[in-house]
Amino acid sequence: METRAERIASCVLITVSGELDTTTAPELDALINQESQSNPENYIFGLGDMEYISSVGLRVFLAQLKKVKAAGGKMILAELNDEVQEVFDMAGFAPLFEIHTSLAAAKAAAGI
């Protein structure tokens, strides 16, 4: 898995590529915690190059969603491929998240 974080105004854009599983989930969790130190209002996760997500990966996103909502912010997922979208759907997580098919739409939804 590879990740990259970029601060855009009051938003953090985190891109994730590869597989998000038991081995790599702590790395993403640490990156999110590091980026949260700057108190962004909104988070966008660009997942266009994410090939796989396990239940542990789902938990990372769910935990972050709870924190962001409690702080009054938005958490937006973008560019999920069919396989990753299916995992979110099957787990019942898709309705919990704001999901956009493009990064441009996600940025517009975040006001950037």
Q: What is the domain partition of the chain in residue ranges?
A: 2-109
CA–CA dist 111, 105 (Å, integer):
10
43-to-83, 90, 92 alpha-carbon distances in Å: 22, 23, 21
Query: In this model, does residue 97 exceed pLDDT 90?
Result: yes
Dihedral, CA of residue 24, residue 30, residue 33 and residue 34, to nearest 10: -130
Positive or negative torsion for Cα 62, 26, 68, 6: negative
CATH entry 3.40.50.10490 includes domain 2-109: no
Can you give the pLDDT at residue 49?
A: 97
The residue that leads in pLDDT, 96 or 40, is 96
Residue 104: band (very low, low, confident or very high) from pLDDT cuts 50, 70, 90: very high
Residue 102: band (very low, low, confident or very high) from pLDDT cuts 50, 70, 90: very high
Q: Alpha helices, DSSP H only, in 3-47?
A: 25-36
